[in-house]
Amino acid sequence: MSVKPAPASPLFAGPFALATLSAPPGPAFPALVTSEEQVVDLRLALGDERLTIRRLLTDWPSVLPRLRELADGGATVRGPLAQFRVHAPVEPRQVFQSGANYRRHVIDLHVAHRAPGDERPEEERRAEAAELMDRRAAQDLPYVFLGLPSAVTGPYDDVVLPQWAEKPDWELELAAVIGRPAHRVGVEEALEYVAGYTIANDLTDRAGVFRRDMPQIGTDWLRSKNAPGFTPLGPWIVPAESVTDPGDLRLVLKLNGETMQDESTKDMIFTVARMVSYASQSARLLPGDLVLTGSPAGNGMHWGRLLRDGDVMDGSITGLGAQRTRCVAEGVAS
């Protein structure tokens, strides 16, 4: 089931965004969406029937000027956006996820995850977490791990909560979309490799993060974060040139209309540039890959309220639009 949010104006920053759309029963196609909410089929406009958004991003520096021309009226419009279904804007080959990157969020989680036998007052444990965050920032050590592309779903699609997920939680995040192969790039040049930005909700089963059978192993991100549909993405990719400052964007997540997360990317410990550079030191980032930059304070663990059947999440980020996803318990008909 697809549940779209109420129309917002404007839909996104800048003159255009990139999307993957379909007009059922037809196949999905790469699209340019104009600020007037008109759709250009990029297969026709660029003369490539096999074109996808990921394939488009492999030639991002040279294709960007052409996209500007198309957005300025240089292409035949296929129709208004309202006529089409919106899918995840890109199928990434790699998903780089960031943990513990918002100062207040990490402090809140540290307090919420009280170790057995730890009877210290909250103020003391909060101060301990703050000191840890200061140390991490000083040591310049982001925390990055891998997610699965198969967890990605559309921005308005239902999210199935697996029967085994005991504590499913939300994590609204800014996602950078890579536009050039990046390997061992410096912080100063890292943003040159970012084609644009989109919205991700990196769902996590809190009960599955730490292995109870082998606690010395540490975190189990495979089970806790990678169920099918656990990464709603989109609705579109807004070119980086239209995002004035990725370090000053407002993230808001509402659960059933009630605001749970409301924070600026100013609270990030490590910037987008630092995250991209850090990931590239170990791995080769490819066009279309995602670099998720962490989630701010206000997750379910903080509120003592986890996701359940029927919940509706509305997530938005300044200039990037909004997504709406409904939670459906596994085995429950939508």
Whole-model pTM: value is 0.91
Statement: residue 333 has pLDDT above 70: no
Q: What is the pLDDT of residue 217?
A: 75
Statement: residue 281 has pLDDT above 90: yes
Task: Name the 3-class secondary structure at 21.
Answer: strand
Output b/e per residue, 57-79; b: 16+ Cβ within 10 A: beebeebbebbeebbeeebeebe
Q: What is the pLDDT of residue 213?
A: 76
Structure tokens of 289? 């890959």
Q: What whole-number distance in Å separates Cα of residue 169 and Cα of residue 226?
A: 13
Helices 122-139, 103-112: crossing angle, 10 deg rounding: 140
| Window from 1-15, 92-106, 178-192, 248-262 with minimum mean pLDDT | 1-15
State the distance between the two ends of the chain, measured CA to CA, in whole angstroms: 7
Q: What is the pLDDT of residue 138?
A: 80
- Judge whether 111 and 125 are in contact, CB under 8 Å: yes
Statement: residue 9 has pLDDT above 60: no
Q: What is the pLDDT of residue 87?
A: 98
| Window from 4-13, 229-238, 310-319 with minimum mean pLDDT | 4-13
Q: Mind listing the pLDDT tens digit for each residue in 80-130? A: 999 999 999 999 999 999 988 998 877 777 676 666 677 778 788 888 878
Statement: residue 6 has pLDDT above 70: no
Q: What is the pLDDT of residue 86?
A: 98
Q: Mind listing the pLDDT tens digit for each residue in 170-226? A: 999 999 999 999 999 999 999 999 999 999 999 999 887 777 777 777 788 788 899
User: For the chain, what is the largest distance between any 2 Cα atoms, rounded to a whole number of angstroms?
Assistant: 66
Give kind and range of the element (H or E) at residue 109.
helix 103-112
Q: Mind listing the pLDDT tens digit for each residue in 127-176? A: 887 887 788 878 888 999 999 999 999 999 999 999 999 999 999 999 99
Output b/e per residue, 100-139; b: 16+ Cβ within 10 A: bbbbbbbbbbbbbeeeeeeeeeeeebeeebeeebeebeee
Q: What is the pLDDT of residue 121?
A: 81
Q: What is the pLDDT of residue 1?
A: 67
Statement: residue 334 has pLDDT above 60: no
Q: Which residue has the higher pLDDT, 282 or 206?
A: 282
Mean pLDDT of the chain: 91
- Spatial CB neighbours of 135, under 8 Å, sequence gap ≥ 6: none
Q: What is the pLDDT of residue 97?
A: 96
Q: What is the pLDDT of residue 170?
A: 97
Q: What whole-number distance in Å separates Cα of residue 134 and Cα of residue 157?
A: 38
